[in-house]
Amino acid sequence: MKRTLIVLALSLSTATSAFAANPDVGGAPMFETKNIVENAVNSADHTTLVAAVQAAGLVETLQTPGPFTVFAPVNDAFAALPAGTVETLLKPENKDTLVKILTAHVVAGDISANQIRRNAGADGFYHMQAVSGDALSAQVRGNNIYIYDENGNAGKITISDVNQSNGVIHVVNKVLLPK
Domain ranges within the chain, ordered by starting residue: 27-172
CATH topology of domain 27-172: FAS1 domain (2.30.180)
The one-letter code for the residue type at 43 is S
Helix boundaries (H) for 57-156: 75-79, 85-89, 95-103, 113-119
What pLDDT is stored for residue 106 in this prediction?
96
Q: Give me the residues paired with residue 170 across strands.
A: 71
Cβ-based neighbours of 96, under 8 Å, separated by 6 or more: none
What pLDDT is stored for residue 144 in this prediction?
95
What pLDDT is stored for residue 79 in this prediction?
96
Cβ(73)–Cβ(144) under 8 Å? no
What pLDDT is stored for residue 3 in this prediction?
43
Cβ-based neighbours of 160, under 8 Å, separated by 6 or more: 112, 113, 145, 170, 171
Task: Give the angle subtended at the CA of 11 by the CAs of 8 and 13, to the nearest 5°.
Answer: 110
**pLDDT means per 10 residues in the chain (179 residues)?**
38 40 85 90 92 94 93 96 94 95 96 94 91 96 94 95 94 95
